[in-house]
Amino acid sequence: MVTREVGFIPSHVSQWGDAVPVEVRLPNILRPVASGEACVKAEGTTVRDVFDDLVRRYPGLRPSLLTPEGEMHRHLNVFVNDDDVRYLGKLEAKVGEADTLTLMPAVAGG
């Protein structure tokens, strides 16, 4: 059984089937754009769907998530559960009910 937060309204149905709720964990730097929340809910069947729902709900996230061409921002690491989406199809990576999407800024070191 899926429990939804009060006021959570499904955003859309993707071309692959019914959108499912996904928990999205945000890094500190993105939280001010999402009302200060560390975790938010979004829906979709792919990472792209989830990003579209996030941008619909929090438009200020778009520049940090996607390039002007609509591709995943290269300075953002995205994980579905513990798996890096770069190896799962990037924005086309599938998400399932109760998955967790974790967003992390890329860190360069030397």
- Each residue's pLDDT tens digit, 20-69: 899 999 999 999 999 999 999 999 999 999 999 999 999 999 999 999 99
| Fold of the domain built from segment(s) 20-104 | Ubiquitin-like (UB roll) (3.10.20)
Q: Could you state, in order of their start, the residue ranges of all structural domains in the chain? A: 20-104
State the pTM of this model: 0.81
**1 confidence band (pLDDT: 50, 70, 90):** very low
Q: Are 49 and 19 in contact (CB under 8 A)?
A: yes
What is residue 97's predicted lDDT score, i.e. its pLDDT? 87
